[in-house]
Amino acid sequence: ERARKFYQRGLQSCPNNVILWIQASRLEERAGEFDSSLRSGVTKARSLLELSRLKNPKNPELWVEAIRLERRAGNDKLAITLMARALQECPSSGLLLAENITTAPRVEQKSKSADAIKKCPDDPRVIAAVASLFASERKLEKARKWFERAVVLDPDVGDSWAKYYLFETGTGSSGKKEKIKERCIAAEPKHGELWCSVMKEMANRRKSVGEGLELVANKIQQQQELLN
């Protein structure tokens, strides 16, 4: 309850703070899991995210959070509907287009990739999502080429390095894997959705870039296992 009041005060003062909206919705989602006497946590989280989008239109991060909320709750049809609405409102969002590739049924992933590349040919999130698709199809050289393109486009995005590193881990090439780690350490990435969330955890604040790379790669692997 204290945390809820903290978020309420924060959102009254800073209604354009996207991170506050997302954290407040996650609090409600978790609260519903722990206390069955509360109104469904997902319902309250959904309402908060709807309000957040009214106050902050055309915001891809808020759309992605709403879509993921529904997927976590098992509401896949609603998640698909939200994605369609999100792409109407933010048609050139690399974040949304990459998410659309990753979560689409396998038979639709190629067409989603082609559409995303047309709209955002230089977005590292889209390029890395396409690379991951090639990797899942065991088109290893194509995947390597696209992962390379992603890290060259923006070396500051830690998520791209972690995906590339995980890919080379899976191919069994220890030399290539270590080379990726060396390049990542030299680049000192500071951005990326997963990179930031992992590296900002209290337990990881003193971790080196190399250690962070391992942690984020493991997190991506866990996410992939959940999707498959």
The predicted structure's pLDDT at residue 34: 64
From first to last of its 228 residues, the chain has per-residue pLDDT tens of 788 888 888 998 999 999 999 999 999 998 876 665 545 789 999 999 999 999 999 999 999 999 999 999 999 999 999 999 999 999 999 999 999 999 999 999 999 999 999 999 999 999 999 999 999 999 999 999 999 999 999 999 999 999 999 999 988 778 999 999 999 999 999 999 999 999 999 999 999 999 999 999 999 999 887 766
Please provide the size of the chain in residues. 228
């409102």: which residue's tokens?
Answer: 89
Angstrom distance (rounded) from CA 91 to CA 107: 22
The set of long-range contacts for 98-102, using a CB threshold of 8 Å and a minimum separation of 24, is 98/123, 98/125, 98/126, 98/128, 98/129, 99/64, 99/67, 101/126, 101/129, 101/130, 101/133, 102/129, 102/132, 102/227
* pTM listed for this prediction: 0.90
| Cα 17 from Cα 39, distance rounded (Å) | 25
Percentages of the chain per state (helix, strand, coil), in multiples of 5: 80, 0, 20
Instruction: Answer whether 69's CB lies under 8 Å from 83's CB.
Output: no
Q: How far apart are CA 6 and CA 48, in angstroms?
A: 15
